[in-house]
A and B are shown apart, each in its own frame.
Chain A
Amino acid sequence: MSNPYSSFKASILSVKPQTDIDYTFRLATDLKVSSGQFVEVSIPRVGEAPISVSDFGEGWIEMTIRRAGKLTDVIHEMIQGKHLYIRGPYGNGFPMDKFKGKNLIIAAGGTGLAPVKSIISSFNQGITGIKDLTLLAGFKTPADVLFRDEISKWHENIQIEITVDNDDTGNWPGGTGLITGLIEQMDIANLEQTEVIIVGPPVMIKFSYLEFIKKGIRKENVWVSFERKMCCGIGKCGHCKIDGTYVCLEGPVFNYAKAEQLVD
């Protein structure tokens, strides 16, 4: 009888601060993951939490973790050479096959960028089959922008628009205003051939969706990733359930046609 709650030790290859409260941890592991999946990360005696895999490659995965409480505070004290415990990967991930040959627009709010980062990285490596990628990202202030180094490189291959709600520095080179404004300004050429991913806080997802619908995108072409409280990741603890749907099993990625049917 194998124990589905057993985690294994993975050593930390690097820690990279993205903002004051978001750090990216690269772990050594052969875990096979796909974009949009998550793992249960733990430190014995402290706790366990679901965290999206923000990127992955041969022999490593990355997670971008926000300091939010008991466990994540302690994770933030971890340095290269220490280790974390992980189990997974869990969840369905994004339907990468459906995106082949299509134009993909990703709208990400804040830490919502983490679960889609690997799609952007692999697009840049030319391994997704996606025809064309546009990234719209919104953050609260310039200090909250994630993956700056990567973004400056992504500019070469993809169209990127970044906005902040509030430029408290006075010298932010990008735009200001909500992400919905960026969507409004978009000129979407081939509606039928365009798929959209929206990731971020619930309110941001809702209003971005409405904006895309105004543009003529069909809801069947919109994909969202849900965050719910999760204590097991494997369909047992009940916390993530919405109606009859277990987000940890059937999600966290949902087509909007399904997502809009889910009443918490």
Chain B
Amino acid sequence: MGFEFTMDSFNKVLEDISKNFIFYAPRRIPGKGAFSDTDVVVYQEVEGFGQIELDEKSRFSPKEVINPITQTLFYFNENGYTEPETNNKGIIIFCRPCDANSFKRLDEIFLNNGPFKDSYYESLRRKVKIFVIECVQGFENCFCVSMGTNRFDDYDAFIRVAEDRITCDVKDNLLPAFVKHGISAEMRPDFISENAVKVAIPDQVNKTIFTHEMWREYSERCIACGRCTVVCPTCTCFTMQDIFYEDNHKCGERRRVWASCMIDGFTEVAGGHDFRPDKGMRMRFKAMHKIYDFRKRFGYNMCVGCGRCDDVCPEYISFSNCINKVSALSREVNG
């Protein structure tokens, strides 16, 4: 159902539903950017629509809302262990269509890969409602259209912001607050149909490409900082970590923390053997996961084309370029 609001009336909607929900949205944090005097846009809790950053792509993705950077799995004491308590409030995430599509990818790994569901992820995920913010032109480095993630129809609300007016298409049980504060309006979601950056995805990637010299460029340029995976809305890897408390060694926690296949140590085992020591190999591993082997497993590509990996790379390595190279080579090899 469609509704129209002023900023004020939309904030009243948020106020009403805030009794049952926490809102996360991109927010501008002044002075915390990569260079002094620059800002950074990150996902954080917001109270009103005015706090949401609409003009710039967020540096980090919304995945951290349900897949925290550090997450305690167990608290240990002398008698055994307990699991952390969970909050009952629902979660509303304001995000763009690409990010909205990323949750389905996270679901595949945490819920559908292997015989078990990740219960920590599931308990957060089931509380999430997605409020999609319309994109009218996309940002720098975006290539969602190539990935087919420019569209997202499974939203709980779709929001268009134009000249101090907010129009929404709303589904589901949140309707009363929208009915109360808005006026009924015609609203049909629009999605962008072209990005400046276009990426060709290879159908088949021949094994010869795995060891092709194209990867050598990345061996030389990449510094294994892992920024590209930290900002990626679909990267899910983690490492387990046990700690004990300084003031009481008998108590402690088991946590998981984000890990990156681009960083040293990801594949290193006892005895010091590292299965993927070279940065070019790591780039190939990451790229294949994003545009090839995830698809073989789940039927569609993992990458949602948000372009964040390109936004943050200190060495100006372009992932979209890399994929285009793989595609060109694949066409050569496969004929």
Q: Which residues of A contact B (CB under 8 A)?
A: 1-6, 9, 42-48, 66, 68-69, 72, 201-202, 227-229, 231-232, 234-239, 241-244, 246, 248-249, 261, 263-264
**Set of chain B residues within 8 Å of A228, measured between Cβ atoms:** 267, 269, 275
Q: How far is the CB of A34 from chain B (nearest CB, A)?
A: 15
A264/B81 contact (C-beta < 8 A), A231-B240, A238-B259, A244-B297 known: no
Q: How far is the CB of B288 from chain A (nearest CB, A)?
A: 7
Which of chain B's residues 84-128 have a Cβ closer than 8 Å to chain A? 109-110, 113-120, 122-123
B237 at the interface (CB under 8 A from A): yes
**Set of chain A residues within 8 Å of B115, measured between Cβ atoms:** 234
Greatest chain A CB density within 10 A among B242, B294, B297 is at B242
B237 and A238 form a contact (CB under 8 A): yes
A235 and B119 form a contact (CB under 8 A): no
Those 5 A-B pairs whose CB atoms lie nearest each other, nearest first: A235-B114, A244-B293, A238-B237, A45-B252, A68-B270
Greatest chain B CB density within 10 A among A46, A201, A228, A239 is at A239
B76 and A238 form a contact (CB under 8 A): no
B195 at the interface (CB under 8 A from A): no
Interface residues on B, range: 35 or more
B254 and A48 form a contact (CB under 8 A): yes
Residue from the list B210, B261, B269, B292 in contact with A263, Cβ < 8 A: B210
Greatest chain B CB density within 10 A among A3, A228, A248 is at A3
Q: Closest chain A residue to B284 by CB distance?
A: A263
Cα distance, A235 to B267, chains bound together (Å): 15
Supplied contacts A4-B116, A5-B120, A44-B254, 18 more A-B pairs, CB within 8 Å = A1-B123, A5-B254, A6-B74, A9-B80, A44-B81, A45-B252, A201-B271, A202-B273, A227-B269, A235-B113, A236-B110, A237-B237, A237-B240, A243-B210, A244-B294, A246-B113, A263-B211, A264-B285
Q: Closest chain A residue to B271 by CB distance?
A: A68
Greatest chain A CB density within 10 A among B119, B249, B252, B261 is at B119
Q: Closest chain A residue to B253 by CB distance?
A: A45
B32 at the interface (CB under 8 A from A): no
**Set of chain B residues within 8 Å of A2, measured between Cβ atoms:** 119
Residue from the list A5, A6, A239 in contact with B259, Cβ < 8 A: A239
Cα distance, A6 to B73, chains bound together (Å): 9
**Set of chain B residues within 8 Å of A66, measured between Cβ atoms:** 270
A263 and B207 form a contact (CB under 8 A): yes
Interchain residue pairs with CB less than 8 A apart (27):
A1-B119, A5-B119, A6-B74, A42-B254, A44-B76, A45-B76, A45-B249, A45-B250, A45-B251, A46-B242, A47-B240, A48-B242, A68-B271, A201-B273, A228-B275, A229-B266, A229-B267, A229-B268, A231-B240, A232-B240, A235-B109, A236-B109, A239-B237, A244-B294, A248-B114, A261-B207, A264-B285
B275 and A4 form a contact (CB under 8 A): no
B238 at the interface (CB under 8 A from A): yes
Cα distance, A31 to B285, chains bound together (Å): 35
B221 at the interface (CB under 8 A from A): no
Residue from the list A6, A231, A244 in contact with B239, Cβ < 8 A: A231
A4/B119 contact (C-beta < 8 A), A44-B81, A44-B252 known: yes
Number of A-B contacts (CB under 8 A): 125
B217 at the interface (CB under 8 A from A): no
Cα distance, A261 to B206, chains bound together (Å): 11
**Set of chain B residues within 8 Å of A1, measured between Cβ atoms:** 117, 119, 122-123
A264 and B122 form a contact (CB under 8 A): no
**Set of chain B residues within 8 Å of A9, measured between Cβ atoms:** 80
Interface residues as binary, B41-79 with A (CB distance below 8 Å gives 1, 0 otherwise): 000000000000000000000000000000001101000
B316 at the interface (CB under 8 A from A): no
Q: How far is the CB of A32 from chain B (nearest CB, A)?
A: 15
Q: How far is the CB of B73 from chain A (nearest CB, A)?
A: 5
Cα distance, A234 to B113, chains bound together (Å): 8
Cα distance, A227 to B123, chains bound together (Å): 32
B333 at the interface (CB under 8 A from A): no
Q: How far is the CB of A109 from chain B (nearest CB, A)?
A: 12
**Set of chain A residues within 8 Å of B185, measured between Cβ atoms:** none
B281 at the interface (CB under 8 A from A): yes
Cα distance, A235 to B236, chains bound together (Å): 11
Cα distance, A232 to B119, chains bound together (Å): 13
Q: How far is the CB of B78 from chain A (nearest CB, A)?
A: 10
**Set of chain B residues within 8 Å of A46, measured between Cβ atoms:** 242
B270 and A69 form a contact (CB under 8 A): yes
Q: Closest chain A residue to B244 by CB distance?
A: A45
Q: How far is the CB of B47 from chain A (nearest CB, A)?
A: 30
A239/B288 contact (C-beta < 8 A), A1-B122, A44-B76 known: no
Q: Closest chain B residue to A68 by CB distance?
A: B270
**Set of chain A residues within 8 Å of B261, measured between Cβ atoms:** 238
A5 and B73 form a contact (CB under 8 A): yes
**Set of chain B residues within 8 Å of A72, measured between Cβ atoms:** 270
Cα distance, A26 to B316, chains bound together (Å): 53
Q: How far is the CB of B55 from chain A (nearest CB, A)?
A: 34
B113 and A236 form a contact (CB under 8 A): yes
A3 and B288 form a contact (CB under 8 A): no
B276 at the interface (CB under 8 A from A): yes
B194 at the interface (CB under 8 A from A): no
Q: Closest chain B residue to A9 by CB distance?
A: B80
B238 and A231 form a contact (CB under 8 A): yes
B267 and A236 form a contact (CB under 8 A): no
Cα distance, A81 to B110, chains bound together (Å): 36
**Set of chain A residues within 8 Å of B180, measured between Cβ atoms:** none
